[in-house]
Amino acid sequence: MKRGTADTREGEMKPFREAHARIRERTPLEPRVAVVLGTGLGGLGESIEIEEAIPYTDIPHFSDSTVETHAGRLLFGHLDEVPVVAMEGRVHRYEGYSLQEVVFPIRVMRLLGAKVLVVSGACGGMDARMKAGDLVLLDDQINLMGDSPLVGPNLDEFGPRFPDMSEPFDGELRELAFQAALERGIRLHPGVYAAVVGPALETRAEYRMLRRMGADVVGMSIVPEVLAARHMEMRVLGMTVVTNVCLPDALEPADVAEILRTARNAEPRLTALIRDVVKEL
């Protein structure tokens, strides 16, 4: 069959509709905000008044995380009265999933009603002013994954073939986050996030290159999710925790246990800021 006929388009939407239908058998909740809880940042989930928690393995076409630090459940409930859906754990390109698989849940959360996406994650900080544990409010991104979740036949129902990326992260949401940080006395750096495939951390030469390219922080997620969200015209807030400082001329060997500890330490601050922003939505 030729691409682009009504039948093929319906076929391409089918997995999303099946996942959506299964979730709807479990909960009628219409989320306003979708949240992705990244590495070590699952604690925000504890602030949600959970009404339903669905393991990814119960949802058709959802991929289950192979990383121990990611739990693999979709949480439905209220965060300070605002209806939300939260991904407790995400899947990554480095686990072997395609970027289309990585963003599948983002698309389903949009179908469920969410028009705002909050993404969080761990990152390496390349700006000398950043300390381990600092929070970064993303204001732009660089896709260095050599791929895009938007490759393939365009899903017209979700968005246009050539989505605009002039403002990946929403200016108004950023303003709210800065305001909240100021009021709480929490240090919040603005920053450009570069996404790499991983799973190896970067060499000195790579950190140096990323810095010269214009990135302030580097990580292995976020960018595909933001691309899918912007394709669907969701407003996006991105916040990351600097889990390791990556200055090429003073690079220390990375300690993954330490990275996770640092992310967990930052969790209360990240949670507070996200709650402050979500409350305004």
246 sits near ligand HPA (criterion: CB under 6 A): yes
Report the residue number, 43 or 248, with the smaller CB distance to ligand HPA.
248
Count of residues near ligand HPA by CB under 6 A = 14
Using the contact rule CB under 6 A, the part of the chain among 46-54, 71-79, 163-171, 198-206 near ligand HPA is 198-206
201 sits near ligand HPA (criterion: CB under 6 A): yes
Residue nearest ligand HPA (C-beta atom): 124
220 sits near ligand HPA (criterion: CB under 6 A): yes
Question: Closest distance between ligand HPA and the C-beta of residue 207, in Å?
Answer: 8
Contact residue for ligand HPA among 202, 216, 225, 267 (CB under 6 A): 202
243 sits near ligand HPA (criterion: CB under 6 A): yes
Question: Closest distance between ligand HPA and the C-beta of residue 72, in Å?
Answer: 19
Report the residue number, 71 or 197, with the smaller CB distance to ligand HPA.
197
Report the residue number, 67 or 82, with the smaller CB distance to ligand HPA.
67
Question: Closest distance between ligand HPA and the C-beta of residue 202, in Å?
Answer: 5
145 sits near ligand HPA (criterion: CB under 6 A): no
Taking alpha carbons only, the member of 172, 216, 174 closest to residue 192 is 216
Residues 89-128 that bind ligand HPA (CB under 6 A): 122-124
Contact residues toward ligand HPA (CB under 6 A) are 122-124, 196, 198, 201-202, 218-220, 243-244, 246, 259
